[in-house]
Chain A
Amino acid sequence: MTDFAGNQTIIEIVYVVASILFILSLKWLSAPTTARRGVLAGEIGMVLAIGGTLLHHGIVDYKWIVIALVIGSGIGVPLGLVHMTAVPQRTALSHAFGAFCVTLVGTSEFYLRTPNVPKFMMSVLCMEVILASLTFTGSLMAAGKLQEVLPQRPITYKGQNFVNLFFLAIAVAVAVYLVLHPEAKQLFPVVIVVPLIFGVLMIVPIGGADMPTVISLLNSYAGLSAAAMGFVLNSKLLIIAGALDGSSGFILSVIMSKAMNRSFTNVLFGAFGQVQAAASTGKEDKTVRSATAEEAAGILAAANKVVIVPGYGMAVAQAQHKVRELYDALTKKGVDVRFAIHPVAGRMPGHMNVLLAEADIPYDRLMEMDDINGEFPQTDVALVIGANDVTNPAARTDQSSPIFGMPILDVDKARTVMVIKRSMSPGFAGIDNPLYYLDRTLMLFGDAKAFVNSIVHELAGNAH
């Protein structure tokens, strides 16, 4: 018995060390220079925690633990090696896996403990299982939409919010009943299955443009469900990790919804598709000026300061490596080139930075919206590649615009604006962009990758 107690103390001390390492891990992530040390700290903490757990006195069977760890690692390695454009769906999938684990553990704990479950414990257990199962299916849906195996367009119908809330209400009602009557174990599957359905329905009306917010929100739910599991298992380490993950997801969701000028409830309960009706049409009579790659290269070469505004269209066209060549060519000519990154550029928070870093563009050239916006009036050329709504000046001026109030990159204040775009068709949200009709705007029609490539060729030609 004393031996068991001794082991238990060692385990708890190991968990304290792991908690410290987890917090340091996130602290070191604050800057690119120390970030990799942060990953190392997290890894050491994780290995210590798993090693410490294996000392647990109740463990009688190690064989299947090892087998499961090996299989899990076998699945994890390919998931860690996906292409950088696939990181958003990989992240959504890993939220699903995390939530899956929490759902299974919560279910096991219920059946092991019933019918002697104190009220508080039962409430936390129900919260754990409800949050985790809706996160599980919700994240799978999000991953499917991001991977484009599911339709990306929001699917809406009349009374949708009512139906969704109805499902959530059933789950909560049954959970309350279970808290009062923990012996009613035949009802337990309801608090798993109903949130599973709710998770699917929750994501159905959400369009691709809202994915950064939704991924962050699911991240937060995954963290909170893990924290709830920590309460059930009385594991402070798990409570800490869950609280860290939960607050991280929460902060990111707030940043994302601010960047989209939308509230949480608006993202979850009002599909973007419904707003489209308000978008004004009938601007076809306006004229646009277009330019060739040769003309564009000439203007860029003569500029002192160039700001490139990349959007997801650039990543879709796989143009980031060509953009790097353009960056190199202009930098060699002494042009000051920087990149303006809108918080929702890409499919998840910070995604655009990763895509540009992958193309070897130095991170100190990547500027956040608030830092670069004041500099557009002194910018000779703003080159917009595959971005649309985040550059739309209507967000500042046109109160009738569906995106009015959304913070944007003020590219229209640059001396010359160039926009690489396939055609004049409106963007993701179906909103017309007055930027394209400005006198100072030159439209460069074509595929992003091919057009940037021809600009690079022109620049190389000029050098001779």
Chain B
Amino acid sequence: MNSTLIDGLFVFMLAGFIGFEVIKRVSPLLHTPLMSLTNALDAIAVVGAIVLVGEHKSQLSFVLGVLAVIAATSNVVGGFLITDRMLKMFKSSRPTKP
């Protein structure tokens, strides 16, 4: 039991470092899409909510789970949609090579 928590801490630490190094390189030009994209990715919390709904262990967890799936799904769909809309608008003045 304890070892899974330690595993989790290792994963958290490594992912934190990767996040720091990768995101540091994101151009300030794209900081708004960055935030909406990470927000969409963060909505992966939906998987925890889906399990709650599907397992139906108690009435409370079922109802809260349904609400949680709705909230997270709206972030997934809305987040990816607006990120792509924003990125589509960024055009270079130089002719782009395909």
Q: For chain A residues 47-70, which have a beta carbon within 8 Å of chain B? A: 49-50, 53-54, 56, 58-62, 64-65, 67-69
Pick from A53, A81, A251: contact of B51, CB below 8 A: A53
A311 within 8 A of B: no
Chain B CB within 10 Å, residue with most, of A30, A31, A247: A247
Residues of A within 8 A of B37 (CB): 25-26, 29, 38-39, 42
Distance, CA A245 to CA B15, complexed state (A): 10
A43 within 8 A of B: yes
Residues of A within 8 A of B86 (CB): 84, 87, 354, 357
Does B41 contact A36, Cβ atoms closer than 8 Å? no
Closest to B61 in A: A108
A449 within 8 A of B: no
Distance, CA A252 to CA B37, complexed state (A): 14
Q: Contact size class for B?
A: 35 or more
Does A35 contact B33, Cβ atoms closer than 8 Å? yes
Does B79 contact A94, Cβ atoms closer than 8 Å? yes
Pick from A245, A358, A368: contact of B42, CB below 8 A: A245
Distance, CA A23 to CA B34, complexed state (A): 12
The answer to whether residues A100 and B41 also contact, given A237-B47, A240-B11 and a CB cut-off of 8 A, is no
Residues of B within 8 A of A97 (CB): 43, 71-72, 74-75
- Which listed segment binds B: A162-170, A203-211, A343-351, A419-427? A343-351
Does A76 contact B5, Cβ atoms closer than 8 Å? no
Distance, CA A284 to CA B30, complexed state (A): 41
The answer to whether residues A349 and B73 also contact, given A68-B66, A91-B39 and a CB cut-off of 8 A, is no
Pick from A58, A343, A357: contact of B89, CB below 8 A: A357
Residues of B within 8 A of A216 (CB): 35
Does B72 contact A112, Cβ atoms closer than 8 Å? no
Distance, CA A350 to CA B65, complexed state (A): 34
Residues of A within 8 A of B91 (CB): 357, 360, 362-363
Does A100 contact B71, Cβ atoms closer than 8 Å? yes
Residues of A within 8 A of B36 (CB): 87, 90-91, 94
Minimum C-beta distance from B53 to chain A (A)? 5
Residues of B within 8 A of A215 (CB): 35
Distance, CA A230 to CA B35, complexed state (A): 20
Distance, CA A75 to CA B20, complexed state (A): 31
Does B45 contact A46, Cβ atoms closer than 8 Å? no
Residues of A within 8 A of B2 (CB): 120
The answer to whether residues A62 and B61 also contact, given A100-B71, A105-B49 and a CB cut-off of 8 A, is no
Distance, CA A54 to CA B46, complexed state (A): 11
The answer to whether residues A229 and B48 also contact, given A32-B30, A87-B32, A90-B82 and a CB cut-off of 8 A, is yes
Does B69 contact A72, Cβ atoms closer than 8 Å? yes
Distance, CA A172 to CA B84, complexed state (A): 40
Does B33 contact A94, Cβ atoms closer than 8 Å? no
Does A32 contact B92, Cβ atoms closer than 8 Å? yes
Residues of B within 8 A of A248 (CB): 19, 23, 34-35, 38
Pick from B31, B51, B96: contact of A350, CB below 8 A: B31
Contact with A along B8-31 (1 / 0, CB 8 A): 100110011011101111111111
Q: For chain A residues 246-261, which have a beta carbon within 8 Å of chain B? A: 246-249, 251-252, 255
Residues of B within 8 A of A153 (CB): none
Closest to A36 in B: B87
Closest to B25 in A: A30
Residues of A within 8 A of B31 (CB): 252, 255, 348-350, 353
Residues of B within 8 A of A22 (CB): 41, 44
Does A357 contact B28, Cβ atoms closer than 8 Å? no
The answer to whether residues A80 and B77 also contact, given A104-B68, A364-B92 and a CB cut-off of 8 A, is yes
Distance, CA A362 to CA B92, complexed state (A): 5
Residues of A within 8 A of B64 (CB): 104-105, 107-108
Does A42 contact B52, Cβ atoms closer than 8 Å? no
Does B19 contact A247, Cβ atoms closer than 8 Å? yes
Does A31 contact B71, Cβ atoms closer than 8 Å? no
Does A236 contact B8, Cβ atoms closer than 8 Å? yes
Closest to A72 in B: B73
Does B93 contact A350, Cβ atoms closer than 8 Å? no
Pick from B51, B62, B79: contact of A59, CB below 8 A: B51
What are 28 inter-chain pairs, A to B, with CB distance below 8 A?
A: A23-B18, A25-B41, A26-B23, A26-B26, A26-B34, A29-B33, A29-B34, A30-B25, A32-B30, A38-B37, A39-B37, A42-B80, A60-B56, A68-B49, A68-B73, A76-B78, A87-B32, A90-B36, A98-B72, A108-B58, A219-B38, A226-B45, A245-B41, A247-B19, A251-B20, A251-B24, A252-B35, A255-B31
Beyond A72-B69, A219-B38, list 11 extra A-B contacts (CB 8 Å).
Answer: A35-B30, A42-B37, A72-B70, A100-B68, A108-B52, A215-B35, A238-B44, A239-B8, A244-B23, A245-B41, A350-B30
